[in-house]
Amino acid sequence: MSKHIESVNYGLEKIFKDAKDFLPLLGTDYVEFYVGNAKQAAHFYKTAFGFQSLAYSGLETGDREKASYVLKQDKIKLVLTTPLTSTSKINDHLAKHGDGVKVIALWVDDAKKAYEETTSRGAKSYLEPVVEQDENGEVVKSGIYTYGETVHMFVERKNYKGTFLPGYQKWESDYNPKPVGLKYIDHMVGNVGWGEMNQWVDWYEKVMGFVNFLSFDDKQIHTEYSALMSKVMSNGNGRIKFPINEPAKAAKRSQIEEYLDFYEGPGVQHLAVATDDIITTVAQLKARGVEFLPPPPQDYYDNIPARLGAHKDMMKEDIKELQRLSILVDADEEGYLLQIFTKPIEDRPTLFFEIIQRMGAKGFGAGNFKALFESIEREQSKRGTL
Ligand code: FE2
């Protein structure tokens, strides 16, 4: 049995005990992407991923600088933002990083206090607390920088009844492809530079009150060619989980290094979104044109019963069906999980999505890392970036 299993058992109770309560987080509020063409990106997320139109802001709502489309699927809210003029600072972000995640917004009860608690512990300010109002009430927002140019926005919405945020109007569309069963964000992963992982682990502990509840070193996460290290940070109630990766030295170029080269700095590597029925979700995503990493070899599927160990009889899914869809399986002592990874969703090999179904397991699929990374390396090799 690999080491990560012990670490998982080390457990969520310890998280509750060790996490500091100066920054209570109710959940993820939204994730904002800066993109080159928000109108077209919104069409992609509706058509391919089954997101629903929720809200809009732009010229029609009085914003002369940028247009934003808000999409929703169950608890997940994505905001896609594009600059409308050459003078917008968003252009600098886009020119440097390409399409990617700018804001991971966290839902809080008190955005002013969240700002004070984090900036007094060393966070760099992005937005001082500001009250925004419209006929539906008021929202308080504040923001701090995390790794790279990525931002955590704190959103307090207890006195707001509107669709999304002040400044946005409801977005009614005649084009409404069905959802694919995506429910909530399970975790969001950040890639940071060489030797910077522990610095950001310390930052999340000190500034945000998070705890490190899982660690993987380069001896656990490596293939014949490449390696990385990862530590998983969680807030006190376990709703927010941020694994942090850094590249490690190996014979060839780590996928994290490829990301850092093309994103031109640290940033969000993947969003893992949860489903209750991964077979249906993935079958629909594939039918709608979402591209996933190529499947692992046959022996991966032959070995699934052995990998599941005690949970073998608990598994409801048909292995042949999982193989047909290239879904991966991993287990820890508390259960198993099913997961699959998309190819990058933009031309730069940077951001991608993970679809995950947890059947009791609390880990991140460490047993799949080797198969997964070999699959990524085959893609890197095609790009000439291995
Ligand atoms: Fe993940």
The residue with tokens 């060489």 is 194
Give the containing element (helix H, strand E) for 131. strand 125-134
Report d(CA 70, CA 78) in Å as an integer: 6
Summarize pLDDT for 138-196 with one digit per residue, the tens: 999 999 999 999 999 999 999 999 999 999 999 999 999 999 999 999 999 999 999 99
User: Residues with beta carbon < 5 A to ion ligand 1?
Assistant: 272, 354
pLDDT value at residue 5: 36
Give the integer Cα–Cα distance in Å for 109 and 113.
Answer: 9
Residue 362 CA to ligand 1 center (angstroms) comes to 12
Q: How far is the CA of 334 from the centre of ligand 1 (A)?
A: 18
Quote the pLDDT of residue 141: 98
CA of 190 to the centre of ligand 1 (A): 10
Residue 329: pLDDT over 90 = yes
Give the CB-side neighbour count of residue 329, counting CA atoms within 13 A: 28
Secondary structure (DSSP) of 110-121: -HHHHHHHHHTT
CA 4 to centroid of ligand 1, rounded, Å: 14
How many whole angstroms from 69 Cα to the centroid of ligand 1?
25
175 CA to middle of ligand 1, Å? 31
Domains in the chain with CATH codes: 27-168 (3.10.180.10), 180-383 (3.10.180.10)
CA of 242 to the centre of ligand 1 (A): 9
pTM of the model as a whole: 0.93
Q: How far is the CA of 352 from the centre of ligand 1 (A)?
A: 10
- The CA 63 to ligand 1 mean position distance, Å, reads 35
More confident residue, 339 or 308: 339
Distance 95 CA to ligand 1 centre (A): 27
- How far apart CA 280 and CA 275 sit, in angstroms, is 9
Least confident of 11-20, 116-125, 285-294, 325-334: 11-20
Q: Ligand 1 centroid vs 377 CA: distance in angstroms?
A: 17
Give strand ranges (E) for 162-320: 169-170, 182-191, 211-216, 227-234, 241-248, 267-275
Compute the distance from residue 272 Cα to the ligand 1 centre, in Å: 5
Between CA 208 and CA 234 the distance in angstroms is: 10
Q: Are 40 and 80 in contact (CB under 8 A)?
A: no
Smallest CA-to-CA distance from 303 within 292, 313, 295, 312 is with 312
- Provide, rounded to the nearest whole percent, the portion of the chain with pLDDT above 70: 95
Label residue 309 by pLDDT band (50, 70, 90).
confident
Separation of CA 189 and ligand 1 centre (Å) = 7
Residues 94 and 36: beta-carbon distance below 8 Å: yes
Residue 227 has pLDDT above 70, yes or no: yes
